[in-house]
Amino acid sequence: MAKVSGPAYSMEASGKLGDVVYARNRYGQYARAAPGPAGTPSGEQEAWREAMAECVRQFQDSSIVTMDMVRDWQEWARVRTVTDRWGKEIRLSAQQWYVRQNIHRLRAGYGPHTRPTWWTEMAWYPEFTVAQDGVAGITIDCDPRPIKEDLVYIGRYGPASTRREFCPRRWSLVCYGKATSVWPITVFSPAEIISGEHRYWVVVRPINRGGWPGVQRQLYIDAEPMSV
């Protein structure tokens, strides 16, 4: 396949990404086949889309984000960059920064930051442990636990073979662990742990009180049904 160069997504377009091979053809420079109907979004995808749309609505509502606040976001966007998945520095719009800082807070039930917060450093690096018992099932705990408005994104993926040594790509949100949550938090109930050798994946991401997410982490446990 010909080397593709130039566009922002040339790294993805020029080679193999998972099981998708991108190539130049009559349907588009990087399309692999004729465009078809989009798949039905999952409930998790819909929830994230609704949260994103709500953040956009808030940003465009002058009773929530005034023009003075918009200028603060625009100034923030002017002087800061983020790194995309390929390590390239890119710039976001003021609205994108608002979504980035508030979408986790919105889904966790916290009020938005209407101005950019200067709490941008991840000064909180909890250690996570996954355990199993016969009453609570598979649980996750962290040390230190959240305080004030710190959050822990807790997601999961269904059981997989113990031969699998990497986390699956698609997982669903279980809950946000908060300072008010009852820890440890159940991720899989005992009824969801089925017989046979299976690996249960848990995905966690610490989010500081400023709304900035930390590094995503994947954990797993090899579990079997057990009696108390």
Q: What is the pLDDT of residues 91-114, one digit of tens each?
A: 999 999 999 999 999 999 999 999
> Does the predicted model carry a pTM greater than 0.95?
no
Q: Is the peptide bond before 159 cis (omega within 30 degrees of 0)?
A: no
pLDDT tens string 151-184: 999 999 888 888 888 888 778 899 999 999 999 9
Domain that includes residue 93, residue range: 43-108
Is there a single domain that holds both residue 134 and residue 164? Answer: yes
Per-residue model confidence (pLDDT) at position 45: 84
**Residue of 19, 45, 41 whose CA lies nearest to 171:** 45
52, pLDDT greater than 50? yes
Q: Is 113 domain-assigned?
A: no
CA atoms within 13 A on the CB side of 129: 9
Q: Is 171 domain-assigned?
A: yes
**3-state secondary structure at position 108:** helix
CA distances from 223 to 160, 185, 190, 204, 220 (A): 11, 17, 10, 19, 9
Q: Is 122 domain-assigned?
A: no
Is there a single domain that holds both residue 136 and residue 219? Answer: yes
Reported as type and span, the H/E element at residue 95 is helix 94-108
Is there a single domain that holds both residue 212 and residue 138? Answer: yes
15 CB contacts (<8 Å, ≥6 apart)? 1, 21, 22
DSSP per-residue letters across 134-180: TTTEEEEEEESPP-TT-EEEEEEEEEE-TT--S--S--EEEEEE-TT
